[in-house]
Amino acid sequence: MKHVVFFAVIVVSVAICQPSASGDPYDPPAGYYDSATGTGLTLKSQLTTIMTSGHIQRSYGDFRFSAALTDADPNAAGNILLVYNLASVSATWDSGVTWNREHVWPQSRQPGSASNSSTGNLGDPHALRPANPSINSARGNKPFGSFGTTGAFGSLGTFYFPGDADKGDIARNLFYSATRWSSLGLTLVNGVPSGNQMGDLDSAIRWNYTDPPGEFERRRNQTIYSAILNPTYRTNNRNAYIDHPEFVWSVFGSFDNDSTLYVGGIPAADGSSAMLFDFGRVIVGGTAPADQLVNLDKDGTAPTYYEVALSGDATSTDAGRYNAFDFNPQSTSLNVGLAASTAVAGVQAGTVTINNLDVSSGGAGQGSADADDIITLQLAVLSPAQGSFSNSSLLSSTTASFAFVPGTGSQMIDVDVHNFGFNADQSLLDLDGISGDVLPFGYVSGLQTDIGATPATLTFSFDTDGTPSGVYSTPIDIDVSDEDVSGEALGLMSITLDVTLVGTNGDWNSDGNIDSQDYLNFFECLVGPGTPASSVCVATFDADVDGDVDLDDFESFQAAFTGP
């Protein structure tokens, strides 16, 4: 029975044949796939030519020794990793006791029979894997299948499931044989195969997307190819479906790809989308923010591969070309971050570009026509705030002097606090608290957070009612800090408030009235500007506290006059 399969994948923009600029050591050489420009059967024919050109065929017998290189266990020198069970065993060939040679495409389902001298697909290391003898025997010549199965390897009736760790690898081995060795009649079909066929195609397509090429598989592909890594048994050809797993849908799927990838909301008609991810603010020397997750969505039924490319200070554990979506609409979370230094103030920024790699398109904004999706990342690194009582110079400690007339009620004293030299790369200033109030002073209002270019005004009060004439002074401490982000520091500002309380509202004779007698006394004290008056006159009539009694003080006296 034919199974209809739909894959959901994240795609953004197309890059058909060129390897990523990421410098992956297992990338093909530059230009290797330059001639792979088509889609569908045309692309398959082009890949057959690429994988055949310069191919040095190796024998089935060679694999007894080349497996020590191609399937080497990177964590155990002298060992190899077996297919299906992933066992690490000695690489030394002992005539098949410890491990034997598994034909991924069973020899009974291809022309000829295997001997140590056999070449073609029977001896091609791209189509062979070392295996545990008993597991190899249990698998027999069963086709691979069971579309939705997950878990460990094993037989499932007519089919054999290679296990989650190897299902994508096995699928790409089959795609290779059906392309490079199509001249032998090797064909992938849905359901149960016959003759030189293998299957199940739907299962293999899905596994290609649910198990992307990992480091072991990519290193194996490079080692089979490379004269440097494998001078004796190299084949000088590569498995195109490992280098470019996005080719699978166009060659073996339904050709048209309707996937659209997007971030931050509904994409534009061409499939493009953009979003800004703000990591916030941190003070110089503070801790850089941790990586975050950003939703990446995919519309469409087809699967796809996508590349996550980075620029600037952007980082991502998802970087690279081997990211995939399975069938149907779905979403995933991308890990994004900034390799930010908090040593210097300024904006740290970078971009994450998501590129839909499929080479076919179902229409505008889909598959190969799906434009890039851009995530812009930014972090503001701030110099510390600077609390100051002046905006022309940095002044964190000062004295402010005021003068009031007795009996005039509660007088307000305003003190401005600036974030000195504030600019876009500087922390906002927080006024967190005050201490040191001493009667007759009192705190009224003004504590606030996030002070930038506009100063905060602290308001204090001074009670002139019932307070004798004299000089009053109190120190006020102001607790300040940077804005509430990583790296914030605390500070202390201090101001001394001096108030001179002078005059008794002109009641010269202290009879409780400001009348004609006091009026005559005022003119006896009137000496003109700049001329000191007696201490008694100054204490009684110097309303503006400038050390003399003149016409400037008369207005205050006149305002207090109560009549004869």
Rg for the chain, CA atoms, rounded: 42
pTM: 0.80
Query: Considering the chain, what is the average pLDDT of its residues?
Result: 91
**What is the distance between the alpha carbons of residues 67 and 500, in angstroms, rounded to a whole number?**
97
Q: Quick check: 69 pLDDT over 60?
A: yes
Q: Pick from 280, 284, 71: which is nearest to 166 by CA?
A: 71
Asked if 280 and 72 touch (Cβ cutoff 8 Å), the reply is no
Strand 197-198 relative to strand 187-188, pairing: parallel
Alpha helices in 33-181 (DSSP H): 40-52, 63-70, 133-139, 167-180
- Under the banding of pLDDT at 50, 70 and 90, the label for residue 530 is low
Domain ranges of the chain: 40-252, 260-382, 387-501, 516-560
Mean pLDDT of 511-521: 77
Q: Which two tokens stand for residue 62?
A: 């060679």
**Matching CATH topology for 260-382 and 387-501?**
yes
Phi, psi of 521 (to 5 degrees): -65, -35
**What is the distance between the alpha carbons of residues 65 and 430, in angstroms, rounded to a whole number?**
72
Alpha helices in 214-370 (DSSP H): 215-225, 240-243, 247-252
Torsion-angle region of 551 (φ positive above 0: left; ψ -120 to 50: alpha; else: beta): alpha
Using DSSP's 3-state secondary structure scheme, residue 23 falls into coil
Within 8 A by CB and 6+ apart from 288, the residues are 282, 338, 340, 341, 342, 379
**pLDDT for the residue 148:** 83
Asked if 356 and 12 touch (Cβ cutoff 8 Å), the reply is yes
Q: Which two tokens stand for residue 463?
A: 């009670």
**What is the distance between the alpha carbons of residues 465 and 459, in angstroms, rounded to a whole number?**
19
Mean pLDDT of 104-108: 97
Within 8 A by CB and 6+ apart from 106, the residues are 140, 141, 142, 198
Asked if 541 and 562 touch (Cβ cutoff 8 Å), the reply is no
Per-residue model confidence as pLDDT tens digits over 218-253: 999 999 999 999 999 999 999 999 999 999 999 999
**pLDDT for the residue 7:** 32
H or E stretch including 483? none
Q: Quick check: 3 pLDDT over 50?
A: no
Mean pLDDT of 260-269: 96
**pLDDT for the residue 149:** 87
| Residue 267 per-residue DSSP state | P
H or E stretch including 557? helix 551-560
Q: Which two tokens stand for residue 176?
A: 């290779």
Burial class (CB in 10 A: 0-12, 13-18, 19+), 443: middle
CATH number of 260-382: 2.60.40.10
Asked if 73 and 88 touch (Cβ cutoff 8 Å), the reply is yes
Residue 411's alpha-carbon distances to 21, 414, 460, 506, in angstroms, are 71, 10, 8, 19
Q: Quick check: 366 pLDDT over 90?
A: yes
Mean pLDDT of 131-146: 97
Reported as half-sphere exposure (CB side, CA atoms, 13 A), residue 106 has a value of: 20
Q: Quick check: 506 pLDDT over 80?
A: no
H or E stretch including 300? none
Domain 387-501 has CATH 1.10.1040.10: no
